[in-house]
Structure 1
Amino acid sequence: MTATTNMSTDHTRATADAAHTHGGGTVPESSRADRRSSFELADFPVPTGREEDWRFSPVDRLQRLFAGDLTGTGPVVTVETDDAVRVERVGRDDARLGQVGAPGDRISAAAWHSFGEALVVTVPKNHVAERHTMLAVNGDDVTAAAPAAQHVLVVAEELSESLVVLDHRGTAELAQTVEIDVRDGARLTLVSVQDWAEGGVHVANHRARIAKDGHLKHIVVTLNGDVVRVTPDVAFTGPGADVELLGVYYVDAGQHFEHRLFVDHAVPKAKSRATYKGALQGDGAHSVWVGDVLIRKEAEGTDTYELNRNLVLTEGARADSVPNLEIETGEIEGAGHASATGRFDDEQLFYLRSRGIPETEARRLVVRGFFAELINQIGVPLVQDRLMAAIEEELSRTMGAAS
């Protein structure tokens, strides 16, 4: 059984560790605050795989996206929503675009540099949506002649409540930007499902900002594709803001699924919670989870916690898990993280088998239980049903071989 956990303490630093002056304050030398962000592609050299942001990634499989010439035709986006939600297709010169934040890596900058048209979804002020907004991203008719760029902006105006789902299917080689603007007192649940066909390559940067008393529940479900890398970046702009980051992934042989989170606490009294769970099976299955949380000097009263759990079902699978916590102030409510990667719990299997349950069915029950706690937190029946059906399909297909 190959199960790799990367949780090195040198990535969890406080102000006193290797500090230097930055922007009038004191931060660690490797602080996330020092990472470059820019709309200019030239500001990001082509990665070699030795960089911190790319050291776990299969850079050889991302070369066409690194090139920055994303001129292909992207997946078709079909929208279903209620009548009050405004949906617009706008040019790249629309003043609303690019306001949430700048790209933080080369592919994100290439996506910004290359898109021609953007989709803007606006939930009006005080509106409580009666139904979810579905953005069906379908690459079935896309040819692989050239990789493509795509840009989506979701705006939840003041005191609105809404659910937006991005459902990715078919085939694609796609660099995608999703901007998420949660304004004062708004409550938004955004779900991104990656259920690509074989060979799909999808690199997405979700950039979110949350205003005073705003709430974002951000859910990532990665089920299929060749290489999928999703990087949610969250910034708070007012006190009382909070974010809940939930993720589920199921990795098969040869697949690379990567999720890198960055939560920037730069205002007082904001809250963040991150919980990701994944299962891996098959030779060459590889998952990467990196959780970066930065609590700046001015972010007094911060409350944050992040958790990653990985269940390795077969030999030859590898999970890298790296929680990073940087704290620049001692005036916080709480901050912590936990990470674990392992195989089936032998005690659980023994307990179930001692009660007459066959080993194959016992393994299925253990996997269901592993995901159940997180799935029940999602609170979106549409997503929960879809996720459970996908997990059941994976278990039906593979549990016999794994027993």
Structure 2
Amino acid sequence: MGLNEKPLSTLHEKASYDLADFEVPTGREEAWRFTPLSRLKGLHNGKAEPVGHVRVDVDAAPEVTVETVGRDDARVGKSFVPADRVSAQAWNSFEKATVITVPREAVTSKPTVLTLTGSGDGAAYGHLVIKVEPMAEAAIVLDHKGSGVYADNIEFVVGDGASLKIVSLQDWDDDAVHVSHHHAQLAKDATFRSFVVTLGGDLVRLSPSVSYTAAGGDADLSGVYFVDAGQHLEHRLLVDHSQPNCKSNVDYRGALQGQDAHAVWIGDVIIRVEAEGTDTYELNRNLILTDGARADSVPNLEILTGEVAGAGHASASGRLDDEHIFYLQARGIPHDEARRLVVRGFLGQLIEKIQIEEIRDRVFAALEDELAR
């Protein structure tokens, strides 16, 4: 498939399965200007040969089916088209895909957990398809760990009246590189809840996106990240409202500490002419804990119709509030503990939204470990 005739937006001009349609990034392009290309280990220029391996282990709910399929399976690659060169590279390089199907009207009795473990022996490429059939309900956990260089595409296909909850954990080793595209396609009255937690890795760049095929879709995209010295954690979101009376809400929050800790958040929302009645809001907030850390935050809202129910965006980055610390210290709380309480409260408001208790407790424990460093 060649280039789309209809561009997504000024920031998403290309979409193609053909790798040749994407030039090798130089770092001057808007989509790549924040990403340190030299640290991608060749994912962006074709030099990352697929000699590595990422093992996919699935602990599935009894109601779902899990299959390993080839590239020619009819369910693979139907809900999305790669929007940049690394996504296209991943599409053209994977050999087997994992397909998880939640049958019509099924309500899963437990979350399905996919553990993706990098072996650390080179680059690898992957593809996942999560298909929730009409009126079904499911929760999926994606748990990334280990080492290596990994690029993948993930398709979430949510049918009429269906509900899907996703938690994606990036808990890689310190040397890992991960570039991933998550695309959710929502049918009529479908509900999608995504929670991204990014903690580990040398460089992680995630690109969650949402599209709608009918009215009534409702998407909520939340995320937390904690960036340590030298880490580059990047989240680039796109919500493409092309159907009437759909909703979206985006809320990402991050904390940064250490020299050259770098967070990037890009939030793009498009409301097309035909998307009357859209209700959308996006928010990004960053808490900078030490000197030498940097947060780049760019919300973009493109509105092509005047008939919207609501549309807005906000972004803020700042340091710990000295008054908050002083208030706690005045009540006998030591400085380091006061600092932990403020950061925990800042990120904890979002973490509490994770409805899977085991995962929520794990994220809070990881946050405490980060703050103790």
Give TM class, smaller chain. over 0.9
State the alpha-carbon separation in 1 of the partners of residues 45 and 216 from structure 2. 41
Secondary structure of the 2:282 match is: strand
Q: What SS class does the counterpart of residue 205 from structure 1 fall into?
A: strand
Q: Which residue of 1 is the match for residue 330 of structure 2? A: 354
Match runs of 1:27-46 below 5 Å: 31-32=10-11, 35-46=13-24
Is 1:203 matched up with 2:203? no
More contact order relative to length (CA 8 Å, sep ≥ 6): 1
TM-superposed CA distance for 1:359, in Å, is 1.0
Paired residue secondary structure (2:144): strand
| SS of structure 1 residue aligned to 2:352 | helix
Q: For 1:218, which of 194, 202, 205 is the aligned residue? A: 194
Q: Does 1:51 align with 2:29?
A: yes
Match of 2:138 in 1: 162
User: 1:12 corresponds to which residue?
Assistant: none
Which of 60-69 and 186-195 deviates more? 60-69
Q: Tell me whether 1:131 sits opposite 2:96 in the alignment.
A: no
Residue type at the aligned position of 2:264:
V
Tell whether the 8 Å contact from 1:137 to 1:169 is kept in structure 2 after alignment.
Answer: yes
Change (3 A) 1:136 1:40: same
> Which residue, out of 71, 74, 78, partners 1:95?
74
Deviation at 1:63, TM superposition (A): 4.6
Report the counterpart of residue 273 of structure 2 in structure 1: 297
Any conservation in 1 of the 2:52–2:148 contact (CA below 8 Å)?
no
Cα offset, 1:131, TM superposition: 0.6
Per the TM alignment, residue 70 of structure 1 is displaced from its structure 2 partner at its CA by: 4.0
Verify the 8 A CA contact 1:92 1:117 in the aligned structure 2.
yes
- Partner deviation per Cα, 1:204-241 (whole Å, 9 max, x = no partner): 00111000000010111001100000001110111110
Cα offset, 1:81, TM superposition: 1.2
Following TM superposition, by how much is the alpha carbon of 1:386 offset from its aligned partner in structure 2, in angstroms? 1.2
How does 1:125-274 map onto structure 2 within 5 Å?
Answer: 125-139=104-118, 141-144=119-122, 147-274=123-250
SS at match of 2:230: coil
- 1:64 corresponds in structure 2 to 42
Q: 1:287-326, aligned counterparts within 5 Å?
A: 287-326=263-302
- 2:104–2:135 CA contact under 8 A, matched in 1: yes
8 Å CA contact 1:246–1:378 kept in 2: the answer is no
- Tell me if the contact between 1:74 and 1:150 (Cα under 8 Å) persists in the aligned partners: no
Alpha-carbon contact 1:155-1:182 (below 8 Å) kept: yes
Higher helix share: 1
1:379 corresponds in structure 2 to 355
Post-superposition shift, 1:347? Answer: 1.4
Deviations 1:160-205 (A, max 9, x none): 1110111001102001110110010110011110000111000000
Match of 1:112 among 74, 87, 91: 91
Gaps of 5+ in 2: none
Letter matched to residue 318 of structure 2: G
Any unmatched runs of 5+ in structure 1? Answer: 1-21, 398-403
Report the secondary structure of 1:335's partner residue.
Answer: strand
Which amino acid is the alignment partner of residue 352 of structure 1?
Answer: L
Alpha-carbon distance in 1 for matches of 2:129, 2:51: 20
Asked if the contact 1:70/1:111 (under 8 Å) is kept, the reply is: no
The amino acid across from 1:50 in the alignment is R
Residue 21 of structure 2 aligns to which amino acid in structure 1? D
- Compute the displacement of 1:151 (Å): 0.4
DSSP 3-state at the match of 1:181: strand
1: distance between equivalents of 2:26 and 2:151?
18
Q: Which residue of 2 aligns with 1:85?
A: 64
CA contact 1:268–1:298 (8 Å) conserved in 2: yes
Give, as a single letter, the amino acid of the residue that structure 2 aligns with 1:61.
R
CA distance in 1, matches of 2:61, 2:344: 34
Question: C-alpha displacement at 1:394, in angstroms?
Answer: 1.1
Q: Secondary structure at the match of 1:143?
A: strand
- Rounded to whole Å, the distance in 1 between the matches of 2:233 and 2:370 is 16
- Name the CA distance, whole Å, in 2 between partners of 1:105 and 1:59: 14
Question: What is residue 366 of structure 2 aligned with on the other side?
Answer: 390
